[in-house]
Structure 1
Amino acid sequence: MSEPSATEPSASLLSVIEPVAPADLAAVPSRRERLAWYAGTALLALVLVSAGLRIAEQDLGAPFYYDLDSLLYLPWVKSIILHGTHWHNDRLGAPGGQELYDFPVIDYLHFAFLWVLGRLTSDVFLAYNLYYLLTYPLTALTGMAVLRWLKLSLPAAAVGALLYAFLPYHQERFQYHFFLSAYWVVPLSLVPALAICKGELLLFPLAPDGSRRFRPFAPGALWTLVVGALTASAGAYYAFFACAVYAFVGLYAVVMFHTWKAVAAAAWVIAPVVAVGVAYHYPTAAYQARNGVNPITDRGPEEAELYALKLSHLVLPATDHNVAKLSRLRALYAANRPADGESGGSLGAVGGGGLVGLLVLALFPRRRRWPEAPLAALVLFLVLLGTVGGLGSLFNLLVTAQIRAYARISVYIGFLCIFMSVWWADRFLLTRTGARARRLRYPALAALLVLGYFDQTPWGWNWFNPHGMAMVRDHAERFRADERFFRKVEEKCPGARVFCLPYVAYPESPPVQRVAAYEHARGYLLTDTLSWSFGTVKRRETDMWLKDVAFQPPEEFLRRIVVRGFDGLFIDSRGFPRKADPARSEPASAFNPIDRVHTLYADLVRKKGLTLPEVAHEDGRQFFLDLRPYRDAYRDLVGPTAFEQQATQEREWIAPLYLKGFIVYDQVDDNEQIRWGSYDAHLMFVNPADRTRRIDFSFTLGVEVDGVFHFSFSGMPGLQWPEFDLERKTDGYGHAFHNIELPPGRSTLRIRCTPPESYVPFDHRKICYSIRHLRIVEK
């Protein structure tokens, strides 16, 4: 992109009616002036966010937000900074290690910035906070560059860029959705789309003789490849929305300009986004080709309704608005609303005004005029794509449901609407004549910035408010308390392998009692040598072993984890029922087992009252128990040979993996999750030993509706599997297969179910039966 000048010809190459742009009405700024405006805008953005968060009073070595999804991002950031990759982490997911190939994260652009910051500071959490703060000036800079390319005057571009950087969306995402708050690539990703809307067809630049020849190496074609790569590297959601925008503007330009070259230009812009995205997913494809497809993030089409955009969200005031009446209005709307999974997205008064104006123009078009006409069409498309029951819902139903949170498209709508509002204001101020009008231009733009900033940032609630930042300080204090606890744990048992209770699946699991999904990640974040059982991807073999062990009776649970090599046990009592009877014979995860573990150790060594070495958290609810004395006593009791035999048995535990075609819900029957199977499901058996083993296995099949369901089995060579029919029965039907040879590695049993013709599945995954009580016995 280049700065416009007053003498440049119109950028339109076709028949767009383009009025005189604001930049063409203002004096041409010098390079020094432009540099000063860009630097000043970035600096002001940094000052505003620093003052708003009262940075001078914050602990920059502690994350601003230390809960929920922030604990999902932070381990990736630490792994990137320390090891240069997030795909594999040896200190999570013990005893097997964490491998994220089933849960691909492709935010490589953000990882690169974090890696660089990690080279500048040795503190992972400081780098994490610094990048969040930098997302404000980065967004202001990219926004201003694009607004200048769109021919706003320098001061108006600065105002629009700052308002865009401080969208309510930015504060709402905070560090909770860390990478989504780094939306500074969005303005750049819109440039190719807006260029096509203007008639700049990229691959077909206008030659001096008026012809349009195919030139893939023209500057206009090449820079779109860079933009596409950046867009694909900034996260799946923004890449998807950008591609949707490109597809729409290609069709729009075909209609407006009557040339197929518009579609070719749009395809050229989409291609690098798709190509780079596919390349980023190659490790996942290669891994799953070897180990089976594990759809742990399988979404339902109905989720597009739950996390959809709402027009009301865009035009209503931001949550916790500074004006009490407006804040109450937003709260009143939000009360008891269905399908309000992502309730943010307010554009503020400036962006909201632009939205209303563009939608009015879309409904009452007068003539084909830049920029109103294409922006009105584009914004209308984005609203229809993201809204409840809109085009996105149809896309999720008919194509794929992996993109579910269409409310996030508001960050694209926000840029276009703020641009439109500021364009109108800028042009109005520049077309006024007289000395008084010229004197009022800068105060008017400053007032627009101040009022817009006041409207978009709830500084009466938290920003600039010494009491409002209590949440950040509370998170820092909890972080430091955890740091002290885990430092003591590491001093007590350096290099230890630690089992975490309660068992919490990774990723995207519901809370276990009062323990949120990623709470166990804190141990990894705050230690340097310890390895933790938490973090292995769910439904893989290590996860299945951890789950199987965690739901054993306490004595069996301890035996299995110590022979498997665990040196310590971390127990978060918030993950257990408040009231339980430890005297009952219950699984280890059914109650707070701290006292029970001490009792089992005392019984083992036959010394009443003896306890294991323990580290207690300041909150009195989290504990670490050193299991090395227990392991030594147990080894002495059974003898080294028997101990090693048991260790080998655990290492060679046959893992059943419910992969493609299975859904695992959190419903538990007799401490066992119920697995639901589709018409075609894959049950994989992993034999980690280097020998063929003979096994018997059994399970219970059940169907929930009337009718005859036909089952057949295949996929394991050399075995003849019977076919049979099932009808509904209260306790299901048990099935057993005997004397099966299981070779080393992975063996897949393919289960096919043919339901009755009248059967209607209860969701898109075509679930038609349940499988439970799977038992594997080696002969």
Structure 2
Amino acid sequence: MRKHPCLAESIIALCVAALCVLVAMQTLGYGAIATRIPAAYEGDGLYYGMLIKGVIDSGWYLQNPWLGAPFGLDMGPFPMADDTHFAMIRMLGLVTGEFGATLTLFTLGSYATAAISAYAVMRLLGLGRILAAVGAFLFSLQAYHFWRGGHLFLASYFSVPIFVGVAMALYRQPASGKHRWIWLPGIAALLLLASGTGVYYAFFGCLLIGFAAIAAGIEQKRWRPLVLGAAACIVILLGTFANLAPHLASIHRHFGDEVITDRKPSESEYYGLRFVQMALPSLSHRRVELRERAQLYEKNAPYVNENATAALGLLALSGFILSILTLLMQSGSVPGSQARRFGALNAVAFGYATVGGLGTTFAWLVTAQFRGLNRISIVIAFISLCALLTAVQTLGDRIKSLRLRHALTALLAMALAVFGFWDQVPDWNQFNLARANQVGFEKDEAAGKAIERALPAQARVYQLPHVSFPEAPPVLNEGSHGLARRYLHTRGIAWSYGAMRGRESDQWIQVMETIPLPERIARLAAADFDAVLVERAAYVDGGVAIEQEISALLGAPILICPDRSCALFRIEKNGLPAMSPLVLAVRGSGFLRWSTGLNGGIEAESAGETAARMFLLNPTKHPIKTRLRFTLNPKSDSTFTARSGQEIVLAQDLAAGRDQPFDKTIDLDPGITTLMLSANPTGTQEAGPLSGGYSLGGLVVDAVDTPQQEREMREADRRREGIFSDREIPEGPH
């Protein structure tokens, strides 16, 4: 082993990782339960299940055609910086082929990656192998890890030791020898990898690295730590922005739409970190008396939420207190004390995240997007464990006898590991999450198979009631994401649930929900929906009233789910009145105003500086002829152009201050068609920005099924409005 130190280190790290995985498996219940049953199968667990199955079905998480029917789920407007996690899920999904086992393997793998990362960094910080192994064990098996299982990506925190390690490397005395520079590309690669594990850990990493660089620069009176710290933060920011780039592009295309992740500064205090919650035992502590103390606080204290997961355990808490006391007691003339540096990093982390601290100030003055400040507790836990184990090693180094020192260190390390296991790891007889989820999972699985047998391949199902996605209030017994269970247990069926709030599918469904049920069912049939599914648990009366209404239109349900949780009704076009599919025009970027007028048409005003986007929605599976009617009133003489891709749909010269009516029929492909609307001052050759812009009024979009229907619609317009005639309607090029 002495000849191959890297091999020895790798073996120790892998052994610790394997031990942590075995403990997690036993605690979560996988000693007797199949791995296809996830430990998180409610609330956010269902949300992550959707994302994982989306990666398996579609290759990545951004687009999923099997959710948000008829147009699919677009995750673009919901920013996530977790490409490293999704890449791991992609690889696991190729092996397992289904979401449950993938979710479980990712969960168990997070214990291994946390242990390996912690061991490597603790060794680099100077801890001996035995103490580093114990530290990795204690860090991986933090109570935070078990309680954060529903927040799947927060529970995968292997990036925390990487960020802390870089901060401590900057905070040390300057390294001797130019050969240290060869490590920089590797460190940059690690930081890029870590930046793909979520914005919170990346943000906390920049906070610590930035502080360490400034403190080291002041202590050493050199610019080098500042330069390296700035470079490290830039790498993290570049990695984070690379992760967010698809989301930023999607938000840009839909500028002006509803903000999906609207956070308020006050939430930074609601979700802030509290020392009392760090010090209290875990809510799942093995000892009943200690567990009840934590439960008493949770029951009586105000604003207890996810911050209840911040319990450090007695060992990490001791390290936290020790590091702070060392910081306070040692003078600034002892810059080389590693314990003092741990105290400084802990002070910064706690001072930032505590209720009413710097994080709250940041939320009010800069941005409130980082509201979950309590999540820094796992960062504090790692720093505190490092501080405690460093103090243990320092005491051991005072023993002159090498043999006695090793023996005592081994005994103490074993004692710490056993005590930490007792203090941090939940009792698996109480915390057996997989066993708790088994019955519900298998019921949903049976319902999914029955639905697949009852419907044709590629079927579309409209789910009732409509529930917003992704952040919606709980709906009775279905919770926030309960409707996702149908997608999780079927293949080849498109579900209406999962339409991103404020986007095309959601806007289409919102309009459908305003239509009386008989017409809505007929419109769904015209939009190529095959069935309606009633989720009984989402209704106060168990769905009795809505099922009676649907049965009067479609007959008895073709399927009652085996657990009687849902009713499936088949939509047959022959038994319904003929209706045109609901075709809509919805807002994209470039509009200052977009609203529905008194006559039911869209009233809008362009921003003027750039071309505007309008999205036309065809919910069917085939092209349809669509009629657009609107008026344009430019603020200066201009040429108006509407493009679909490279095709010019409409081009017309317009006079300033005068309403110009348009009535245009176009062939609309299935899905979402983007129209780029632009106006140029008269005389320019190409479309471009127009300072004054234009007003668009009375925009109405209708599906035209037959030429006869088109002629009847035109004639009805002439009689009703008296303003259109064949000569007055500028058609433009087809």
Q: Give the structure-1-normalised TM-score.
A: 0.75
Indicate which of 501, 514, 522 corresponds to 1:538.
Answer: 501
Residue matched to 2:512: 549
Residue matched to 2:74: 99
Residue matched to 1:375: 342
Per the alignment, do residues 489 and 696 of structure 1 end up closer, same or farther by CA in structure 2, a change over 3 Å counting? farther
Per-residue CA shift, 1:248-294, capped at 9, x if unaligned?
11211122112222221111101111112212222223333333254
Per the alignment, do residues 147 and 553 of structure 1 end up closer, same or farther by CA in structure 2, a change over 3 Å counting? same
Structure 1 residue 741, shift from structure 2 partner: 5.7
Counterpart CA distance in 2 for 1:531 and 1:139 is 37
Counterpart CA distance in 1 for 2:296 and 2:192 is 42
Counting aligned pairs with the same residue, the percent is: 25
Residue matched to 1:477: 439
SS at match of 1:55: coil
Contact 2:204 2:376 in 1 (8 A): yes
SS at match of 1:449: helix
Residue matched to 1:766: none
Residue matched to 2:261: 297
Per the alignment, do residues 139 and 468 of structure 1 end up closer, same or farther by CA in structure 2, a change over 3 Å counting? closer
Indicate which of 493, 512, 525 corresponds to 1:562.
Answer: 525
Residue matched to 1:112: 87
Indicate which of 139, 144, 152 corresponds to 1:169.
Answer: 144
Structure 1 residue 376, shift from structure 2 partner: 1.1
Alignment RMSD (CA, Å) = 3.5
Per-residue CA shift, 1:536-567, capped at 9, x if unaligned?
21111221110121243221221221111110
**Partner amino acid for 2:446?**
R
Per the alignment, do residues 147 and 661 of structure 1 end up closer, same or farther by CA in structure 2, a change over 3 Å counting? farther
SS at match of 2:584: coil
Per the alignment, do residues 54 and 284 of structure 1 end up closer, same or farther by CA in structure 2, a change over 3 Å counting? closer
Contact 1:308 1:340 in 2 (8 A): no
Contact 1:80 1:115 in 2 (8 A): yes
**Partner amino acid for 2:574?**
D
User: Are 2:653 and 1:653 equivalent residues in the alignment?
Assistant: no
Instruction: Identify unmatched segments of 5+ residues in structure 1.
Output: 6-27, 209-214, 581-590, 602-610, 665-681, 698-712, 720-736, 750-773
Structure 1 residue 438, shift from structure 2 partner: 4.8
Per-residue CA shift, 1:734-758, capped at 9, x if unaligned?
xxx9987699956899xxxxxxxxx
Per-residue CA shift, 1:1-28, capped at 9, x if unaligned?
xx9x9xxxxxxxxxxxxxxxxxxxxxx9
Counterpart CA distance in 1 for 2:491 and 2:62 is 19
Counterpart CA distance in 2 for 1:519 and 1:166 is 29
User: Are 2:16 and 1:52 equivalent residues in the alignment?
Assistant: no
Note the 1:179-198 alignment, pairs <5 A.
179-198=153-172
Counterpart CA distance in 2 for 1:96 and 1:717 is 35
Counterpart CA distance in 1 for 2:425 and 2:552 is 55
Indicate which of 517, 521, 538 corresponds to 2:484.
Answer: 521
**Partner amino acid for 2:416?**
L
Contact 2:450 2:561 in 1 (8 A): no
Residue matched to 2:203: 240
Counterpart CA distance in 2 for 1:226 and 1:338 is 43
Note the 1:241-280 alignment, pairs <5 A.
241-280=204-243
Aligned pair count? 634
Residue matched to 2:420: 452
**Partner amino acid for 1:188?**
I
SS at match of 1:56: coil
Per the alignment, do residues 102 and 438 of structure 1 end up closer, same or farther by CA in structure 2, a change over 3 Å counting? closer
Counterpart CA distance in 2 for 1:480 and 1:658 is 45
Per-residue CA shift, 1:151-177, capped at 9, x if unaligned?
111111100110000111101101x11
Residue matched to 1:122: 97
Per the alignment, do residues 424 and 488 of structure 1 end up closer, same or farther by CA in structure 2, a change over 3 Å counting? same
Note the 1:7-26 alignment, pairs <5 A.
none
Per the alignment, do residues 285 and 412 of structure 1 end up closer, same or farther by CA in structure 2, a change over 3 Å counting? same
**Partner amino acid for 2:552?**
T
Indicate which of 392, 397, 402 corresponds to 1:425.
Answer: 392
User: Are 2:694 and 1:694 equivalent residues in the alignment?
Assistant: no
SS at match of 2:337: coil
Residue matched to 1:583: none
Contact 2:629 2:699 in 1 (8 A): no
Indicate which of 373, 389, 402 corresponds to 1:406.
Answer: 373
SS at match of 1:531: strand
Indicate which of 194, 206, 211 corresponds to 1:231.
Answer: 194
Residue matched to 1:623: 567
SS at match of 1:331: helix
Per the alignment, do residues 656 and 663 of structure 1 end up closer, same or farther by CA in structure 2, a change over 3 Å counting? closer
Indicate which of 384, 388, 403 corresponds to 2:355.
Answer: 388
Indicate which of 517, 534, 541 corresponds to 1:578.
Answer: 541
Per the alignment, do residues 336 and 392 of structure 1 end up closer, same or farther by CA in structure 2, a change over 3 Å counting? same
Counterpart CA distance in 1 for 2:470 and 2:637 is 30
Contact 1:695 1:738 in 2 (8 A): no
Counterpart CA distance in 2 for 1:357 and 1:103 is 41
Structure 1 residue 225, shift from structure 2 partner: 1.1
Q: Give the structure-2-normalised TM-score.
A: 0.79
Counterpart CA distance in 2 for 1:543 and 1:273 is 34
Structure 1 residue 41, shift from structure 2 partner: 1.4
Contact 1:573 1:592 in 2 (8 A): no
Counterpart CA distance in 1 for 2:628 and 2:660 is 9
Per the alignment, do residues 688 and 319 of structure 1 end up closer, same or farther by CA in structure 2, a change over 3 Å counting? closer
Residue matched to 1:770: none
Indicate which of 259, 272, 281 corresponds to 1:317.
Answer: 281
Structure 1 residue 120, shift from structure 2 partner: 2.5
Structure 1 residue 302, shift from structure 2 partner: 1.2
Per-residue CA shift, 1:460-518, capped at 9, x if unaligned?
xxx2x2x642x432312211111111211111112210001110111111123332222
SS at match of 1:335: helix
Counterpart CA distance in 2 for 1:504 and 1:419 is 46
Counterpart CA distance in 2 for 1:416 and 1:324 is 29
Counterpart CA distance in 2 for 1:31 and 1:229 is 23
Counterpart CA distance in 2 for 1:517 and 1:157 is 41
Residue matched to 2:329: 364
Contact 1:41 1:162 in 2 (8 A): yes
Residue matched to 1:489: 451
**Partner amino acid for 1:537?**
M
Indicate which of 345, 348, 363 corresponds to 2:310.
Answer: 345
Residue matched to 1:18: none
Counterpart CA distance in 2 for 1:82 and 1:393 is 40
Per the alignment, do residues 574 and 696 of structure 1 end up closer, same or farther by CA in structure 2, a change over 3 Å counting? farther
Structure 1 residue 405, shift from structure 2 partner: 0.4
SS at match of 1:281: helix
Residue matched to 1:331: 295
Residue matched to 2:546: 593
Structure 1 residue 658, shift from structure 2 partner: 11
Residue matched to 2:604: none
Per the alignment, do residues 746 and 431 of structure 1 end up closer, same or farther by CA in structure 2, a change over 3 Å counting? same
Counterpart CA distance in 2 for 1:319 and 1:579 is 34
Structure 1 residue 40, shift from structure 2 partner: 2.3
